[in-house]
Amino acid sequence: MIKLLVIADDLTGALDTGVQFARQGISTRVTMDQNPDFNDQPANLEVLVVDTQSRHLPPREAASRVEKVVASANKFGIEAFYKKTDSTLRGNIGAEMEAALEASGFNHLCFIPAFPKAGRLTREGIHYLENKPVHLTHFGLDPLNPVKTSSIVEILSFQSELAAAQVRIAELDTLGSLLRGAAGFLVFDCSSDSDLEKIGMALKNLGLLGMTAGSAGFAGVLPKMLGLPRSETPFPLPEQPLLILNGSLNKTSLEQVRHAEKEGIRTYTLSPEMLLDSTPEAVGKIQELAAELAREAALGRNVILGSFPVEKEPEALSAEHRHNRDANDICERISEGLGKIISAILREAGFRTLAVFGGDTLIGVLQALRVNGIVPLGEMSPGIVVSRFNGKNQEPTLISKAGGFGEKDAIMEIINHAKGKGQ
């Protein structure tokens, strides 16, 4: 029976949150079906994660998707909800949380966006990435969802009409006094995993766990607070050879590709024509690439496939190939193109593991492979998730990562896990 519904706005976020439950032995499934049939789920399923694919949508449309899912779940009888948000505050956070709160029937939504293990902290209502206000990092220049302020209350005021109150860790003992105010958001400071535990206990004692929101960080303490049965669950290591697909323009992922190249991992770069065109010439190039990668896989070699040359700045590439298209349209077409290319490669090549960087890229791949559900299995490190495709036994193991997650050597970490050298 489903005890918790998680609503995420992109797929890598859905997975890095779902795995917080799966790694504790809790039956968890991630679906891209935005109108899930709650009756048609495994009897032992305890956590369902729905990806509404709404990060890049207009606020009203994003809110509508969230409202429909939560209202349907509420009618079905699900009693606990978690609105997963981006750990760097991108997307329609306020609009989606307001929609979730109103559809759930609760009066307050408790928002804990911090993810301490990944360097995302909240102090005095300001959100930080590695001790720098997030809007002053490269996420402030995100081509699709730039973060314009690091003040969480300010972001929510731009996106929602509901009141938002800031809660410091020292004020948890008096949290109950805030519940006498108008319905709205409670925004919590958090600088450590122990803070996450303290917040969780405070919310449990006040009966406020029904409607919470945040990153994968707070999701990790929810099983204990909700009383979900937990157990240590080992997960299978990925196997070689690996096909590593980077469709993210985030500079963190691009630096990871550069580092892997220096370590000797061969990288293939897709041309804009291969991604955006369907001419016979473009199709021929894709077929040639698939044949070459099949030879690489047969030799047991790990390879990287990139959607754009790492020596170029993302802004320069998008300007060069925009052709009067907006950024959302370009990204959507590139994701679709990447999906078709990966599908063609996997038909030819014997890669045992597919690693995908970027939520939009992962959606394109799964749509091309006609996969609508994923079962998270475990986590190599914060944000790097190992999964399998739901109902698919012959597909490669899936590793996913949001573009902004991971250290410089993340690709080498993944490869070392596949070699049995991971920690």
Q: How far apart are CA 422 and CA 10, in angstroms?
A: 27
Please say whether the beta carbons of 403 and 358 come within 8 A. Answer: yes
Tell me the mean pLDDT in the region 284-307. Answer: 93
Give which of 298, 271, 295 is closest to 283, Cα–Cα: 271
pLDDT of residue 180: 79
Whether the predicted pLDDT of 318 surpasses 80: no
Task: Name the one residue in this structure whose structure tokens are 């220096």.
Answer: 262
What are 263-279's pLDDT values in tens digits? 999 999 888 778 877 78
The alpha-helical segments, DSSP class H, found in 250-409 are: 251-262, 272-276, 280-298, 314-320, 327-348, 359-369
Contact 147, 88 (CB under 8 A): yes
Rounded to an integer, what distance in angstroms lies between the CA atom of residue 183 and that of residue 164?
9
d(CA 38, CA 49): 12
Q: Are 242 and 414 in contact (CB under 8 A)?
A: yes
pLDDT at position 328, please?
Answer: 65
- For residue 237, give the 3-state DSSP assignment: coil
- Mean pLDDT computed over 183-205: 96
Per-residue pLDDT of 52-90, as tens digits, reads 999 999 999 999 999 999 999 999 999 999 999 999 999
Which residue type sits at 38?
Answer: F
* DSSP SS3 for 380: strand
Give the model's pLDDT for residue 327: 59
Instruction: State the DSSP code for 243.
Output: E
Q: Using one digit for the tens of pLDDT, what is the confidence trace for 322-361?
A: 444 555 676 778 888 888 899 989 989 999 999 999 888 9
Does the pLDDT value for residue 388 go beyond 70?
Answer: yes
The pair of structure tokens assigned to 1 is 């029976």
